[in-house]
Structure 1
Amino acid sequence: MFEQVIAFINQLLWGKGQLLVYILLFSGAWFTVKLGAIQLVGFKHMFALARHSTSTDSNGISSFQALCTGLSARVGTGNLAGVAMAISLGGSGAVFWMWVIALLGMATGFAESVLGQLYKVRDNRKEFRGGPAYYIRAGLGKTWLAVLFSLCLFLGYGASFSAMQANTIAEALNNTYAIPPYLSGCAIAIVAGVIVLGGLKRIARFAELIVPWMGAAFILTAIVISAINFTQLPELITDIVLSAFGLTEASAGALGAAIKSGIQRGMYSNEAGAGSVPHAAAGASPTPNHPVVQGYIQMLGVFVDTIVLCSCTAVIVLLAGVGASGELAGISVTQQAMAMHFGEFGDDFIALAITLFAFTSVVANYAYAESNLHFFKLDNTMGRLSYTGIYLVMVMWGANASLQQAWNLADMSLGLMTLVNLYAIVLLTPTIISLTRDYLDKKQQGKNRAFRKGDAAIQGDTSPGVWD
């Protein structure tokens, strides 16, 4: 009966009506227009801020650590298994729609990250915490909606998402090395437990050390494969674009599947609008110390995740000759594609890559949900231990669950979180615009860009002592 309830909700969100598809496209277009296409106009400035993002103070993590933490949650099964799933269900045209939702999602990710940073608070460890529940309560005064989002967050990042990441790791290790899923689940839970019990700063340090090298190695692999098959690239790109609109023989009649699969898996990968990344954004003490800086930094995360890394997986899979099959297929497709390019070494490489990609997501997912313990006044030893126990049990369950069960639960949780978060950030648009104008005006005039309470008109109020 539980699976039937999940299936019913997913049908409403992602099924024939495709409610979330339209809402995501609307929100991306909304913030693109309201913020003057900031993902394009501010593209160069986004990288300039990233180059000077490693400094911080004792109150928070650095902007670079926040970016890596956000990427460690984004860069996971969505990049390797999710892209393969989108192609298997929607064909090569699904890749184009992943690009579209990423480009629009950069504006949405900017908006929610600015809010996460503005309405952050200090927890009992004097570390910064924040996220949608905080800006819904402080900015809109809707405590009931903040509680609803928090519950969806615990169901998603505290339970189902980590379970799904563990499922993909277990499947990859079982496919390559015949390691039983229950052993993989136990190992993941033990190592993750050691890291997450150190709190946000240890998680951020772990992400800062692993994510850049992990991403660079995967990009280099895709470049090598592209160089070997460079004569096929023009035809591949043409096929992606034409198939996105059902203009090839193979894609005729599959336009709806391409759009749905591309947007659903693209959104799962970059998480723009889901309300997850604002938790990482809130933990930072950026340089310069202005909420808009985290908007730019996390906007870069959407670009790297989907436009860069998901495209790498798409190239690897499509150059191996894998297309639409109409059936759900996960990491095994990516492993088969790599095996075709590099033989047995390719299979080993993807097994290692998905283990690292998904494990970093498992760790970052914990941090997102743990951020909301403060919201319920549970950021104490008993609260953290209780939450950690549930989280680790779900990791072990996920390693042994079926692919369909794990992804269905993750899709439902992500969809519910997104509905609540997008409703909130659209209502908070005046605050986002006001902060952005304040930052850009200071930048243009050559002033100190640090933000102080009263510099811009905002809805609600900020936490005492944070921006005074």
Structure 2
Amino acid sequence: MAPIEDFFNLISDLTWGWALIPFLVVLGVFFTLVSKFVQFQYFTTMFRVLRPDPEAGRRGHVSSREALLVSVGGRVGGGNIAGVAVAITLGGPGAVFWMWAIALVGMATSLFECTLAQAFKEDQGDGTYRGGPARYITHGLGADYRWLAVIYAVCLIAAFAFGFNAFQGNTVAGAAQESLGLDRLWTGIGLATITGLVVYGGIKRIAKVADVIIPIMAIGYLAMALFVILINLFEVPGMIWQIVSNAFGWQEAVGGGMGAAISQGLRRGLFSNEAGLGSAPNVAAVAYVPHPVNQGIVQAFSVFIDTIIICSCTAFVILLGDVYQPGADIDGVVLTQQSLVSHVGEWASYFLTGAILLFAFSSIIYNYYLGENALTFLTGNKPVALHLLRIAIVGVVFLGAIAPGATAVFFFSDPLMGILALVNLLALAMLFPTALRVLNDFRDQQAAGKVPVFNPADFPDLDLDHKAWSDAAADAVPKERTRPA
């Protein structure tokens, strides 16, 4: 076992250690500049997706809003509670500033990768679509690059569907045992049962569940953070100054100073919002939208929600409290929990346990769908393969919950995520001219006073599925007629 662990540790060092983060940052800045700051151009448009789309429901599609909430549920997880605390512990308050910075840049990266996922999505004949990096590599770069797509799909299944789902099961069971005294066995049985009921309904049921629990999860956590801010309102200016001054080295909170703040902020921010890692495009592709850029804009909003809103909530709770001590060695979840308790009392530990439960469960169903999407790419829509995957996922969630050390078996998750991220970023760099063409098509139609509608016939050189856009073209006609002069 030791040689295998050493091998995967080497992969982790070669990806997360020095190659991946600079690649993500440089590409994100490049996408932002070349697109003329597209994420800010359409920032106000992002909020429109929060309204339900009855047209998508009537046609049996997954709406843009539902796809957004599934991806938010996947992005928002332990990293928003424990990861932010770790970033502050190791990098000081300045790490929060660099988390914000990389999120604003990552919004452009997410916009382009999700636009590509939409453009190259495939119609499934039942009102749903499939897409993502594996498919835009194959259709965008050509069959000669299928081997690259296979590497991506295999890593996605291993890292997200199996590895990270074991971690999520472990997190829920640990939190329930610590705060409620609930035996891991019962937590495992309950979590595995609910997981099975949801994943056997496919993406439509996953989307419906996400449409209910994600708003509750996000609004509840946001409300708690706002309460903490209000009772510490006069301390907020000092906290903001602490974040900014530490970010630029004017004050040093931990060893390493500004360098530690940048390193931890970028690392934890990228790990949390997943911009550029290629996971969210798998979900973005399922949405029913008139133009690929519509969902690209929506998924950029997902990055904003994850880091600028949810991660900031955790950071403010910690920095406005008296538990955090620079340089102190304390577990991330414990730091967040103790900070919340210091503000509002012991009952907050139960609130945080509930939040962790919702965060983890939303991540489980998201991770499952990533695995399902990758498996269909490798095997086609074979029912036997999907049944085996669903049974395996339920088993992995149960195993992760009942065995405190079970997650050690999945030590390969982070290194494999590093590989799939590099594969996705390489594909993004190669397909960026195509993504920019799609964005310019969207902008040109807007400039002409039209409702942007994607017409695959306008891109005859691309391997696109025309059936995936037939509904969008038909529905846009009455919208254009009713458009005010």
TM-score (norm 1): 0.93
- Note if contact 1:214-1:356 (Cα within 8 Å) is conserved in structure 2: yes
Counterparts of 1:410 and 1:314 in 2: how far apart (Å)? 26
What displacement does 1:220 show?
1.1
Alpha carbons of structure 1 residues 441 and 416: separation in structure 2 relative to 1, 3 Å: same
Indicate the residue corresponding to 2:94 in structure 1: 93
- Note if contact 1:166-1:188 (Cα within 8 Å) is conserved in structure 2: yes
Alpha carbons of structure 1 residues 274 and 401: separation in structure 2 relative to 1, 3 Å: farther
Amino acid corresponding to residue 197 of structure 2 in structure 1: V
Amino acid corresponding to residue 171 of structure 1 in structure 2: G
Counterparts of 2:336 and 2:441 in 1: how far apart (Å)? 45
Counterparts of 2:268 and 2:461 in 1: how far apart (Å)? 33
SS state of the match for residue 273, structure 1? coil
Q: Which moved more, 1:79-88 or 1:102-111?
A: 79-88
Indicate the residue corresponding to 1:452 in structure 2: 455
- Note if contact 2:31-2:108 (Cα within 8 Å) is conserved in structure 1: yes
SS state of the match for residue 464, structure 2? coil
Residues 1:155 and 2:158 are matched in the alignment: yes
SS state of the match for residue 465, structure 1? helix
Q: Which moved more, 1:178-187 or 1:340-349?
A: 178-187
Indicate the residue corresponding to 2:21 in structure 1: 21
Residues 1:192 and 2:190 are matched in the alignment: no
Indicate the residue corresponding to 1:167 in structure 2: 170
Identify which of 427, 436, 441 aligns with 1:438. 441
TM-score (norm 2): 0.90
Counterparts of 2:13 and 2:430 in 1: how far apart (Å)? 26
Residues 1:30 and 2:30 are matched in the alignment: yes
- Note if contact 2:129-2:286 (Cα within 8 Å) is conserved in structure 1: yes
- Note if contact 2:166-2:407 (Cα within 8 Å) is conserved in structure 1: no
What displacement does 1:79 show?
1.1
- Aligned ranges for residues 281-320 of structure 1 at < 5 Å? 281-286=284-289, 289-320=290-321
- Aligned ranges for residues 24-423 of structure 1 at < 5 Å? 24-51=24-51, 53=53, 55-56=55-56, 58=59, 60-123=61-124, 125=126, 127-141=128-142, 142-286=145-289, 289-321=290-322, 322-325=324-327, 327=329, 329-399=331-401, 400-402=403-405, 405=408, 409-423=412-426
Alpha carbons of structure 1 residues 323 and 146: separation in structure 2 relative to 1, 3 Å: farther
Alpha carbons of structure 1 residues 61 and 383: separation in structure 2 relative to 1, 3 Å: same
Q: Deviations over 1:196-250 (max 9, x none)?
A: 1100000000001111122111111111100101111111111111222333232
Q: Deviations over 1:87-106 (max 9, x none)?
A: 22222121111111101100
Amino acid corresponding to residue 435 of structure 1 in structure 2: V
Q: Which runs of 5+ in 2 are unaligned?
A: 471-485
Q: Deviations over 1:283-323 (max 9, x none)?
A: 0111xx10010001111111011000100011011222314
SS state of the match for residue 213, structure 1? helix
Alpha carbons of structure 1 residues 344 and 114: separation in structure 2 relative to 1, 3 Å: same
Counterparts of 1:406 and 1:100 in 2: how far apart (Å)? 34
Identity %: 38
Amino acid corresponding to residue 166 of structure 1 in structure 2: G
Amino acid corresponding to residue 225 of structure 1 in structure 2: V
What displacement does 1:263 show?
1.7
SS state of the match for residue 250, structure 1? coil
Indicate the residue corresponding to 1:428 in structure 2: 431
What displacement does 1:414 show?
2.4
Indicate the residue corresponding to 1:12 in structure 2: 14
- Note if contact 2:191-2:397 (Cα within 8 Å) is conserved in structure 1: yes
Q: Which moved more, 1:195-204 or 1:154-163?
A: 154-163
What displacement does 1:404 show?
8.3
Counterparts of 1:328 and 1:339 in 2: how far apart (Å)? 15
What displacement does 1:403 show?
9.8
Alpha carbons of structure 1 residues 329 and 378: separation in structure 2 relative to 1, 3 Å: farther
What displacement does 1:408 show?
5.3
What CA RMSD, in Å, does the superposition of the two structures yield over aligned residues? 2.1
Amino acid corresponding to residue 344 of structure 2 in structure 1: F
What displacement does 1:373 show?
2.3
Counterparts of 2:258 and 2:182 in 1: how far apart (Å)? 39
Q: Which moved more, 1:393-402 or 1:369-378?
A: 393-402
What displacement does 1:431 show?
1.0
Q: Deviations over 1:412-455 (max 9, x none)?
A: 23222211101101111111111111111111211231111133
What displacement does 1:8 show?
2.2
Amino acid corresponding to residue 68 of structure 2 in structure 1: L
SS state of the match for residue 468, structure 2? coil
- Note if contact 1:115-1:135 (Cα within 8 Å) is conserved in structure 2: yes
Q: Which moved more, 1:377-386 or 1:50-59?
A: 50-59
What displacement does 1:125 show?
4.7
Amino acid corresponding to residue 249 of structure 1 in structure 2: E
Alpha carbons of structure 1 residues 163 and 343: separation in structure 2 relative to 1, 3 Å: same
